[in-house]
Amino acid sequence: MDRGTRLTTDVAEAAALLRAGELVAFPTETVYGLGADARNGRAVAAVFAAKGRPEFNPLICHVATAEAAFEEVVADARARELAARFWPGPLTLVLPRRLDCRVDLLAGAGLDTLAVRVPAHPLALELLRRVDRPVAGPSANRSGSVSPTTAAHVLEGLSGRIAAVLDGGPCAVGVESTVLDLSSPRGAVLLRPGGVPAEAIEAAIGKVGRRVPASAAEATRTLRSPGMLLSHYAPALPVRLDAVDVAGEEALLAFGPAPLPGAGALWNLSPAGDLAEAAARLFAGLRWLDAEGRRLGLARIAAMPVPAAGLGVAINDRLTRAAAPRG
Could you tell me if residue 199 is inside a domain? Answer: yes
Rounded to whole angstroms, how far apart are CA atoms 109 and 112? 9
140 shares a domain with 68: yes
Element (H, E) at 210: strand 208-210
pTM of the model: 0.82
pLDDT tens for each residue of 167-199: 999 998 777 899 999 998 889 999 988 889 899
54 shares a domain with 24: yes
* Domain-terminating residue out of 193, 222, 251: 222
34 shares a domain with 160: yes
Segment 13-33 shows an average pLDDT of 97
The pLDDT of residue 287? 81
Could you tell me if residue 327 is inside a domain? Answer: no
Please say whether the beta carbons of 177 and 23 come within 8 A. Answer: no
Residue 205 domain boundaries: 6-222
* Domain-terminating residue out of 222, 248, 267: 222
Give 194-240 as a DSSP string: -SS-HHHHHHHHS-EEE---SSHHHHHHHTT-S---TTTT--SS-EE
268 shares a domain with 147: no
Segment 219-247 shows an average pLDDT of 66
Q: What are the angstrom distances between the C-alpha of 221 and each of 182, 211, 214, 218?
A: 18, 12, 11, 5
Of residues 3 and 254, more confidence is placed in: 254
How crowded is the C-beta side of 258, counted as CA atoms within 13 Å?
3
243 shares a domain with 177: no
146 shares a domain with 287: no
CA-nearest of 141, 114, 144, 139 to 54 is 144
Helix then strand count (H, E) for the chain reads 10, 15
